[in-house]
Structure 1
Amino acid sequence: MDERKIRSELAKILADEPKNYTKILELSSKLASFDQDNVRFSVDAGVIDRLGTELVARQETAVSELVKNSYDADAKKVVLKFEDSESIGGTLFIEDDGLGMTKDQLINGFMRISSTDKLRHPLSERYNRKRAGQKGIGRFAVQRLGKKLTIITQTLNGDHTLVLTIDWSHYKGDVDLGNITNKITTIPKRKDEGTTLKIEGLKDRWSQAAIKRIYRYVSAIIQPFPLSEEKVIEEKNGQVEILDPGFKTIFKKIEGDKAIVIADESKMIYNHALAEIDGWIDDNGLGIYSIVSKKLDIDKYGEIGSDPDDMTIPFTHLKKVRFKAYYFVYNSGLIPQMHETSIKKAARTSGGIRLYRNGFRVLPYGEPGNDWLKLDQSVTRRSILPVHGNNNFFGFVELTDEEGEFNETSSREGLMENEALIQLQNFVYRTLMQSVFITAEARNIKIVSGQQKDGKLYEKIELRIKDIAHTLESLDLELEKEEGNIQVKNRRKKRLKKLKKDIKEVAKLQKEETSKMLKEKSMLRVLSSVGITIGQFIHEVRDYVINMESDVKFLLEKLRSDTVLTERLLILDRNITTFKSYTSYFDNVISQNVIRELKPIEIQNRVEYFWKSIHNDALKSNIKFEIPERNGSYLYTIPMHPSEWSSILFNFYTNSKKAIKRTEKAGEIKIECGLDNNNIFLEFSDTGDGISEENEEKIFDEFFTTTSPNSLNEIDSSNEITGTGLGLKIVKDIVSSYRGSIQVVSPKEGFSTCIRIDIPKATDKELEDYGI
């Protein structure tokens, strides 16, 4: 069509159909193409599909982004309902009670790619929440999940409910993005405010295990349940402040006419607790706690001061601190048997007290193996007899830290060890212990040997040393006031001076011992990871040596047969080449271990080096192993030890080899690396025989293995790598020590297993310090 015809048709449309905006826009775009002096950017509609695939590769990430959007919309609750989701093609409903969207917000927010709204408004409108969702990812998350989206939304001040339908199949290549229309209509209001997303034609199947997995994923990011109740506070200057009531997520599965709750905090854990414990700091800095137990008929309040010997002394560095904990006592008939096993299992991975600062999780507090409140340490001392380890509690601390009392360390390994953190540990630990005592008394359980309680057991050693020093200072001042023999007074002063000096030495030694212990623990972890790697290497070398010996023997016997000789020489050459790449790789691992210095690791480079050393072996084992896929650039982790990544990757690889071998088919392994928020991620996928739902979390436990033989004879007769049950446990310990996470996630299309690692990315300062 030439320019004249387009002008004529546009004029006719404007005259006859002035509201046919789609046609007007299409003709205008065509007309603009005849502008010879100016050029314009155009956007292909296929970009929606490509961005959805690249930005939101995993179904868990996609759902979590939509939950975060509800959080950002100041919702108090969001309910996710999965319908017909056991197979591909189901429907997902996401319904929240947030602020909803106006027509302008729908058009210029949701429907505008690269909207700057979250940049311009980093805090939410009603509760001043720090926004959790990634900027502009929500719409791509929806496209990643299903084929069709219907948005039903209403605001408090709006008169109608808005309904917007988007069919993602229209967003195909070779079509201009601006020429695709989506119908928006109005219907009578269904409720005061809130948004419902209906996502049809789900691209993944959602089993109960996958739904529970996304619940845990979301709960680890956003504070799982409210501690404050919604209150309106009238300020002196006339400003009205509404306190955040918290945020709850409920996951349901529709089966027939029934809606089954798969995951929420009450169903998952809390309804079966022996006691519910709340603690908070009042306006005067005094700690207040409450303990409620319906099973034991307990409903008590009490006070906790910063000095265990004087409950009236306030905490000087604690403000706007609240915490909630649920206390469980196992093997005592206090939990229904049908729930006790699952709660114990959950306690191994989610037990303890987590820490949230300004609404967001602070790692590693509350992670498995992290004993920041010294609960497990207290149990081993046997000073307090009722059970009170981390696995006996589920809970979290909520810090509203507007004044910056609690700051992350430069390595982002938790918070700085300052007086505020010490007081927080003091308050939470002693409150938990007070609650343990109250429940033990109600159960007529012995608390300590001889039934003697000593409040001085409740503090960290550093605090007790400080208290002793302060007491000595006071005693010194009192002695100064006394009248009497000046020689006696001098002797006392000398003794006090020496005692204070000794106490300082004890404190110094204690810190040195702690530092030494941490270094030794780190060293042992590195050595154990290298040891596991070498163990796997020895097995592989044995196979190659046997093959080479066989080839040499054959050559000696068949030296005169030139054709056969040439053929076998080529095989021998390939074996030796692969063997050399193996030896080179492990020689490098050992060399790295000589130097203990940590440094930021560019994960893609590290993975590609591993791939170069291993892909020949994969080929020999009939496994397709393409070069690892990069999603993003400059993928530097926080400072780590290079040999630890060697151990991680080799563990994953040998496990995948075994899993593929058990299928008795050709297999495939895939590695993906990328950036997700402030984390560097690595996903290791294979087409092996998969991991059963009940084993998804067990595989990271020590000594859990599916490949251990039953006898020495089986070891000798088997050519399979023997499982010790320590490999993935060590991998998890490595990852956790760097504030990272490791989990089994939903496999990508065509694969049966996917394990994902998230490690914090290096800060600009860390990169600068290491000259990167």
Structure 2
Amino acid sequence: MRKLTYKIEDHVIAKVLGIQNFTTDEAAVLELVKNAYDAGATKVDLSFFESSLVVKDDGKGMSLEDIKNLWMHVGKSDKGYLEVDQNNENRILSGSKGIGRFALARLGSCVKLYSKKKSFETVKWETDWNESYVEIEENKSDWSNGTEIHIYDLRSVWRKRRLEQLKVFLERTYNDSKMSIRIISENYNVTLSNYFPKPEVGINCKSYIHLDIKSGELFVNVKSDEFNDYAQSFLPDINIKEFEFKQNINVLLSNWDNDGRDSIDEGDINKLIDELGDFSAEFFFNFKASKNDKAKYEYKYTVTDTVLSKGIVLYRNAFSLSSYDGNKDWLNLNARARKSPAAATHETGAWRVRENQIAGFVCIDKEENPLLQDLSNRQGLDENIYYHLLVEVISLGLKEFERYRQSIIRAIKKHKESEQGVSSKTDNIITKLLSKKCKVQELSDIEEKQLLSEIQDLKESLRARIGTEREAQARYEYDVRLLNVLATIGMKVATGAHEIYNDRNHYISSYDNIENALKDYDMWDILQTPEYTRISTKNIPKIIEKGRSSMKRIVRIIDTVLQKSEVQRFIPKSVDLKGLIEDIVRQWKADYNRVNFNLDIQNGIVLNLSDDVLWTIFDNLILNSIQQNSGNVIITIEVTVKNNTIQFNYHDNGKGLAKKYLARPRLILEPHESTRNGGHGLGMWIVYNTILSLRGEIDSIDGYNGFNIIFHIREMSSIGN
């Protein structure tokens, strides 16, 4: 059998791998810069003329044999992972596919290349992309090593504005200091500087977030100078300057299903995390605060002196992947904010950082993260499961920063509200004037100054009240958005329930009619013999009995759905608490015979509220206990009166909270927090909001020995002995 090899025309290669392969001229220039870096150059000059470009570096250069055997061999590369450059520094090489040289075709129609390797003669290679030639260049021997590429008949015009754009692009893209890059043209000579400065909180960011992913663990370190030092005096439990967090990633990713793309068990997640490898990220958080908010939330700055352009860059060693150079929201920050649009001041909603509030970069490694694979044109990554895992882990790190910052703002807001309540009770000049205890003409100089100060305070208070009302409006808009989704689902269910309800007698009697018909045809006794009941899937009497039992249960559920959506359930009235909880328990026991209840409820507690409120709390708690646990479940509910509040203690004997929540159980109160596949993560958020609406609070949550939650409410009309 004769061996064959492909033959292809030069102009076809230039078109496919050059002109069409590189999406922009800037990406093609970057490819030439990468080649200089991989050649060990300490500097590269990009000199633009009217119709030509000269790229000159002081790298190791090429010999005649290199040109013949490597440069002209498409798809072949001698580049490994790491090389030592002429300054004895290690460089991780960016190229490996052997097609980057065709970036030249994207930029111009003709090329002349001069290259010299130490101890070798200068080589000249030229092409018009139809034919290529190589020879020894005897007239260019005044250099020891390097490469000089002349690109003629440029396909684009490079004026000053375009060169400035190229400068910004290359600065964002190049993330190393081993090689300097200079852009030269008429009246333009600029050496590129580092795009991302050394992080300095209070100077170029309000908070700096560093993520490290090592050996399957997530490390988060936050340094902040966002808030006035004074705020620390009334926030003893929170360090407003620094925050650290460490956790196994597999614990945080329990039941991760890659947004429904894959079915992944715990063992698979451990394997995927290990295969993904270690990486790191650095983020600069910044935003412009209003003057009113600056005073209200103890912000130290309206905005810092230096503000970095938004965008997150993904670097693979010294260079970014060009489709991840900060211009697209590849971390889905906007989608995260849309899903959870709460302000940082929201009592229960989860604040998410906005795309325009953060800049930074993520660093991956060619050898450490081999499964984050380039597309063939090197203009992006294959968005496989490892890419999605990378994005998810970064999102987990950002969540820790978001929770930390929101906890500070919530605490400051709470302190300010209590402080305002105290100051409003003090006597003042305005109060005396309004009560006619004194007249303006009778005020002393000191009292006049105090009056002016009080008027100014009133103006500030009015502004603050307007701001508070706006926050409340935003908070309720957020709550309504989430609840509208659930309400819409509920209406669809109720509509279907009405249709089933109208035919409920038919559904239940159908199984009786089938059984009676089989008896009338003298088939029932035969079907009950061992011959016909041996196989469960063909045991007709058993199938009929199971169907009858299931249908009765469905009808009970339909009755419950329709009953709970009746208008009168939402009308406040006097309610006996013990009787109401007993009704709730009775309903659940009818639907789930594997659930048992122990009730210890103080007699004589009467509430003035609508039925739906406590049903909402306990329905969600009981549903969670059932969904999280298989087998028999014992639920204990204790209710007592203490310090003019009603104390509730709810406990089940199940498996308790997932690992990720054990140390920080209040995370389950955040919206969209769930470890159950297909779970919406809103149940406990609804419970918390309902308790707050009753002027209550959740006192403690524990998930080590079963699940336990203790909370109190203050909405009551009378309490018996």
TM-score, structure 1 as length reference: 0.37
TM-score, structure 2 as length reference: 0.39
CA radius of gyration, larger in:
2
